[in-house]
Amino acid sequence: MTSTTSELDGTRGRVTVRTWANDDPAYLVALAHGLGEHTGRYEHVAAHLVANGAEVIAPDHWGHGRSEGEPGNVDDMDSIVEDFATAVDQAQERHVGVPLVVLGHSLGGIVATRYVQTHPGRADALVLSGPVIGGNDLLLSLADLEEIPDIPIDPTFLSRDPAVGEAYAADPLVYHGPLHRATIETIKASVATIAAGDDFGDLPTLWLHGELDPLAPLAEANRAFEHMAGSALMAKVYPGAMHEIFNETNQAEVLTDVTAFIGETLGR
């Protein structure tokens, strides 16, 4: 299964969208990736979903991957969410009436959550993987410093499989620089906006998290879900797992849990 890329006119410039096509999909998956990375890291996730009947679309966020913008700088969450919504609209125009599953990992969990909050009724299901919707107290405290230290994301935080970190470190489309102050401030503001907004209500939601996730700590995520949990939330924590559960040593289990949830939710 190979993907194709196209471009859309985003709110601030050119945004690259990756598509794993299906001529007759049973459902659409709109995937929002994490901070500093890009959609090309989700080939195996998309292949699993397409084999289960999906078409998968995923925009590289502004400032990420092959999209325009300052690399790794997330200074406007609303524009990223609207670019994501435009990509969803284009996919739904191709496949009218096909159910929509929104999937967000890490920072993409913020994007996915803000999408369902600002576009109510559009999604039929929501999947969140290590979402940063509760923030990261240590990371967000950096915004209070006069000078932010030059601390890029540590590849060893991603998975128990060292090959994942090695591939991440060698990937030229991954942003390997330090965190931008604007990124930290935007995440902090987005966490507050999510907390002040509507919960997930009756939207079927699957929340998956690594027990030892150092980038989206489980304690902060739990704090967010105390407010966000609606009437149709399912949650699972993977013992010993780190941040990128789709790239973890038990990734087959995680992917099976996702498609099982989708099958139950959509009646497939």
- Tell me the pTM: 0.96
Q: Rounded distance, CA 12 to CA 31, Å?
A: 20
Residue with tokens 């890329």: 5
Strand order, beta sheet including 54-59: 4-9, 14-20, 54-59, 27-32, 100-105, 125-129, 205-210, 233-238
**pLDDT tens across 70-122, in order?**
999 999 999 999 999 999 999 999 999 999 999 999 999 999 999 999 999 99
Q: Active-site residues: which are they?
A: 106, 213, 243
Question: What domains can you pick out in the chain, each with its CATH number?
Answer: 4-266 (3.40.50.1820)
**pLDDT tens across 224-264, in order?**
999 899 899 999 999 999 999 999 999 999 999 999 999 99
Residue 13 CB: number of other CB atoms within 10 A?
A: 14
